[in-house]
């Protein structure tokens, strides 16, 4: 398995998922509200979660993948975030999913921003997309906060969906603009 370095944020440590995360992965997907806008179904049992994690090939095949998000102060698994490569679409997308009690506390934005930085700075990706159901206002706000812009609507498994994107060029441009402003004390 190709190793991905841990990604550290102010409040979290992101690391590769492993079968040791199976119980948390299973429990996270049991919550109907957590899955409401994903199109995913809960795992049938913990063994299904173990099987999924054991056979997760993103790290090995593409050098990216969803990462376990561990809260630094408690060392608890609070969700996942990360990039995923789709061969059929030939694109990288950002995704995140957290336990409900960690919603609206900035964890998705904090971790997604670091994953975007990792994708552009370390992996030299040219474009990253984010998909959400149109009704999923929380996820859309995160995509916007991390610098993504609306690209188009799409069919999200029979629901209205939106695609946001960020290109490396716009990423570099926004970072350069931010550095310019901070240099002048703004």
Domain of 107: which CATH number? 3.40.630.30
186 belongs to a structural domain: no
- What is the structure's pLDDT at 27? 97
Mean pLDDT of the chain: 93
Domain boundaries, position 162: 7-179
What confidence tier does 2 reach under pLDDT thresholds 50, 70, 90? low
160 belongs to a structural domain: yes
Would the pLDDT of 135 be above 60?
yes
- For tokens 């994708």, the residue is 119
- How far is Cα 65 from Cα 168, in angstroms, rounded to an integer? 19
**In Å, how far are 60, 107, 110 from 154, measured between CA atoms?**
30, 27, 26
152-173 pLDDT per residue, tens: 999 998 999 999 999 999 999 9
- Number of folded domains that form the chain: 1
Would the pLDDT of 44 be above 60?
yes
Residue among 61, 107, 117 nearest 84 (CA): 61
pTM of the model: 0.92
Average pLDDT, integer, range 15-41:
95
Q: Is residue 174 left, alpha or beta, with left meaning phi > 0 and alpha meaning psi from -120 to 50? A: alpha
Would the pLDDT of 139 be above 60?
yes
- What is the structure's pLDDT at 174? 86
67 belongs to a structural domain: yes
Q: Which strands make up the sheet holding 7-8, listed edge to edge? A: 7-8, 12-16, 66-71, 77-86, 91-98, 127-133, 159-167, 149-156
169 belongs to a structural domain: yes
Is-contact 95 66, C-beta < 8 A? yes
Residue that wins the pLDDT comparison between 50 and 178: 50
Would the pLDDT of 137 be above 80?
yes
- What is the structure's pLDDT at 145? 97
64 belongs to a structural domain: yes
What confidence tier does 39 reach under pLDDT thresholds 50, 70, 90? confident
Q: Which residues pair with 159 in a beta bridge?
A: 156
Would the pLDDT of 47 be above 80?
yes
11 belongs to a structural domain: yes
Alpha helices, DSSP H only, in the chain? 22-28, 32-35, 46-54, 58-62, 107-117, 137-145, 168-183
Would the pLDDT of 1 be above 50?
no
Residue among 103, 159, 151 nearest 133 (CA): 159
What does the block give as tokens for 27? Answer: 């429990």
95-128 pLDDT per residue, tens: 999 999 999 999 999 999 999 999 999 999 999 9
């Amino acid at each position: 398995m190709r190793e991905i370095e841990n990604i550290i944020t102010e409040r979290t440590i992101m690391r590769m998922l492993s079968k040791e995360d199976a119980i948390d992965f299973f429990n996270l997907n049991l919550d109907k509200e957590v899955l409401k806008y994903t199109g995913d179904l809960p795992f049938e049992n913990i063994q299904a979660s173990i099987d999924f994690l054991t056979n997760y090939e993103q790290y090995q095949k593409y050098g990216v993948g969803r990462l376990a998000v561990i809260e630094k102060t408690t060392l608890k698994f609070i969700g996942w975030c990360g990039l995923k490569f789709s061969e059929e679409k030939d694109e990288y997308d950002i995704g995140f999913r957290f336990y409900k009690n960690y919603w609206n506390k900035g964890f998705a934005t904090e971790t997604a921003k670091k994953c975007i930085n990792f994708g552009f700075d370390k992996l030299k990706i040219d474009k990253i997309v984010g998909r959400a159901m149109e009704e999923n206002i929380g996820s859309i706000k995160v995509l916007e906060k991390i610098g993504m812009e609306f690209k188009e609507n799409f069919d999200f498994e029979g629901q209205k969906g939106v695609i946001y994107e960020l290109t490396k060029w716009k990423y570099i441009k926004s970072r350069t603009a931010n550095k310019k402003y901070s240099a002048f004390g703004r």
